[in-house]
Amino acid sequence: MTDPRLDALRHAAPALRLKTDPADLEHYGRDWTRRWTPAPLAIALPGDVEEVQAVVRWARAQGIALVPSGGRTGLSGGAVAAAGEIVVSLERMNRALEFDPIDRTLTVQAGMPLEALHNAAREHGLQYPVDFAARGSCTIGGNIATNAGGIRVIRYGNTREWIAGLKVVTGAGEVLHLNRGLIKNSSGYDLRQLFVGSEGTLGIVVEATVRLTDPPPPSNVMLLALPSFDVLMKVFAAFRERLQLEAFEFFTGRALHHVLAHGAQPPFAEMHPYYVVTEFAIGDEAREAAAMAAFEHCLEQGWVGDGVISQSDAQAAQLWRLREGITEALARHKPYKNDVSVRVSRMPAFLEETQALLGRAYPDFDVVWFGHIGDGNLHINVLKPEGLDDAVFVRQCEDVTRLLAQSLARHEGSISAEHGIGLVKKGYLESTRSAAEIAVMRGIRGVLDPDGIMNPGKLFDLL
Ligand code: FAD
Ligand code: MLT
Ligand code: ZN
């Protein structure tokens, strides 16, 4: 017997695809966090904007919560449906709609995977530059909702910088067509940017017009082995001073240990405590000389113990795999993830304080550090020891996160640099945002989602 409320939905949108099989409820009800047991009422898979609108209007009338859903690669529990919600999956709305060569924009449906967007841009001889390891599964809608960052922020910025226009269905069921691809538009509040990073709490992004840019320059990838943590920012300064950096990423020997255990090949004869993978533009002798000068300077200073530079695209991919493979390699250890940021200028002091704090707080756990150090963004993953109860582990980690949040507040940093707040970091939002800011966000949410149906329980609680 089907739920009578779903019969009403079928009546409102007769062609809407709905899934209610237990396997589907489980599949679509979770993201990468795996901390909550999925329990949605059903999965709606709209095929166009009108069907999205029909679902929202029906949900308002029935008082049923909606969880917008992209590729469910999110790391903050934003797409989790564990309380009888309807998951609104955009997976059928995944097409490119319009390319404009003069504006250099591409309009796509929100369910398009990031990698498909990269390919579509390349077909037009251009580039969509936001990039990270989940590219094959995550969607542009999810990227917008989390303001995703990734490995090229140092050069190109976050998702926010690349959104020229959005079409959204608000929690009130209205369709808004925001900014319409304009470069200049001083006509009041930029509602488009409100939706970037809104984590599905204001409405559903159904279409995005993204800016494209010149294809990436020819580049080389260099892997560096570092003897200690305190030279990290010095190596960064040495490379940034001399080169046009496309990426500057860091990881620890513990991270490499897990990636190697997952099947990667060791880059050097010996293991080192810290590593950097950096990519920079080449193409002329001056740039190549600058790369060698940066490396030699670091070597002379004793900041770098070993290094390798890619000689082919295949080798560049192999070096990148050492950094990009970390998340998958750690997944079986059920990591507790921190995704924190401070201004780059604050990084040395913050790193020193955090290292001391975590050394005291986590004496027995395997703590794996990596991240986008050139953007001031650190990922600190704590691995669950085998045999330790999941809930006890999370509780112990949360005790440390409270201290980390206090440190971030002192350094004026953020408890979430790029993954979003979702369920995972909701309790710490106040370390990053003032009470006055949260009150304004609550007010905005009330206007765009008057009945509180959009992803309730995520980001902050409705009062
Ligand atoms: P989902 O997980 O499905 O959803 C994320 C949030 O967006 C939820 O709150 C959901 O409700 C909302 N949402 C989804 N679609 C819509 C829509 N159409 N309208 C409104 N709201 C919507 N993130 C980074 O920023 N940088 C990285 O380097 C990075 N690397 C990763 C590597 C791996 C291996 C993995 C697994 C994840 C990584 N992530 C990274 C996290 C994740 O991929 C991003 O947060 C991504 O933007 C999520 O996209 P998604 O489509 O999977 O969204
Ligand atoms: C990364 O930088 O690799 C991603 O943000 C994923 C993660 O933190 O695990
Ligand atoms: Zn990251």
> Are 361 and 291 in the same domain?
no
> Are 231 and 323 in the same domain?
yes
The CATH number that applies at residue 374 is 3.30.70.2740
Residue 390 domain boundaries:
334-436
> What count of residues does the chain have?
463
> Are 123 and 183 in the same domain?
yes
Q: 453 lies in a domain?
A: no
How far apart, in whole angstroms, are the C-alpha atoms of residue 293 and residue 96?
Answer: 44
How far apart, in whole angstroms, are the C-alpha atoms of residue 132 and residue 196?
Answer: 18
Q: Find the ligand nearest to 49 CA.
A: 1
> Are 354 and 319 in the same domain?
no
Q: What angle do CA 58, 440, 52 make, to 5 degrees?
A: 20
Given a contact cutoff of 8 angstroms between Cβ atoms, the answer to whether 302 and 262 are in contact is no
Q: Whose CA is nearest to atom 6 of ligand 2?
A: 327
Q: 461 lies in a domain?
A: no
Q: 441 lies in a domain?
A: no
Backbone angles phi, psi at 20, to 5 degrees: -135, 5
Given a contact cutoff of 8 angstroms between Cβ atoms, the answer to whether 54 and 94 are in contact is no
What DSSP string describes 218-264? PEEEEEEEES-GGGHHHHHHHHHHHS-EEEEEEEEHHHHHHHHHTTP
Output the six-digit token pair for 356.
């001391």
- Does the beta carbon of 445 lie inside 6 Å of ligand 2? no
> Are 314 and 339 in the same domain?
no
pLDDT of residue 363: 72
Q: Find the ligand nearest to 133 CA.
A: 1
Q: Which residue has the tokens 């859903």?
A: 69
Q: Which atom of ligand 1 is nearest to the CA of 114?
A: 51
> Are 100 and 64 in the same domain?
no
What DSSP string describes 13-50? STT-EEE--HHHHHHHT--TT--S----SEEEE-SSHH
The CATH number that applies at residue 53 is 3.30.43.10
Q: Which residue has the tokens 């009041």?
A: 188
Among 311, 14, 281, which Cα is nearest to 154's?
281
> Are 114 and 88 in the same domain?
no
Could you report the per-residue pLDDT of 43-67, keeping only the tens digit for each? 999 999 999 999 999 999 999 999 9
pLDDT of residue 68: 99
> Are 297 and 350 in the same domain?
no
Among 175, 285, 158, 294, which Cα is nearest to 236's?
294
Q: 462 lies in a domain?
A: no
- Does the beta carbon of 133 lie inside 6 Å of ligand 2? yes
How many domains, the chain?
4
Could you report the per-residue pLDDT of 232-289, keeping only the tens digit for each? 999 999 999 999 999 999 999 999 999 999 999 999 999 999 999 999 999 889 999 9
Q: 446 lies in a domain?
A: no
The CATH number that applies at residue 317 is 3.30.70.2190
- Does the beta carbon of 75 lie inside 6 Å of ligand 1? yes
Q: Whose CA is nearest to atom 45 of ligand 1?
A: 74
- Does the beta carbon of 322 lie inside 6 Å of ligand 2? no
Among 193, 211, 229, give the residue marking a domain's end: 211
Q: 426 lies in a domain?
A: yes
> Are 104 and 66 in the same domain?
no
Q: Whose CA is nearest to atom 2 of ligand 2?
A: 371
- Does the beta carbon of 196 lie inside 6 Å of ligand 1? no
pLDDT of residue 463: 77
For 393, counting Cβ atoms within 10 Å of its Cβ (0-12 exposed, 13-18 middle, 19+ buried), the class is middle
How far apart, in whole angstroms, are the C-alpha atoms of residue 139 and residue 93?
Answer: 10
Among 327, 348, 376, give the residue marking a domain's end: 327
Q: Find the ligand nearest to 150 CA.
A: 1
> Are 268 and 293 in the same domain?
yes
> Are 60 and 151 in the same domain?
no
- Does the beta carbon of 304 lie inside 6 Å of ligand 1? no
Q: 445 lies in a domain?
A: no
How far apart, in whole angstroms, are the C-alpha atoms of residue 300 and residue 261?
Answer: 32
pLDDT of residue 1: 63
Q: What is the DSSP letter of 215?
A: P
Q: Which atom of ligand 2 is nearest to the CA of 371?
A: 2
Q: 456 lies in a domain?
A: no
- Of 87, 95, 138, the one to substitute when testing ligand 1's pocket (max ligand atoms within 8 A of C-beta) is 138
Other CB atoms closer than 10 Å to residue 305's CB: what's the count?
18
> Are 80 and 131 in the same domain?
no
Among 92, 110, 133, give the residue marking a domain's end: 92
Other CB atoms closer than 10 Å to residue 267's CB: what's the count?
19
Which regions of the chain are under pLDDT 70?
1
Output the six-digit token pair for 277.
């993978």
How far apart, in whole angstroms, are the C-alpha atoms of residue 436 and residue 300?
Answer: 50
Other CB atoms closer than 10 Å to residue 75's CB: what's the count?
21
The CATH number that applies at residue 181 is 3.30.465.10
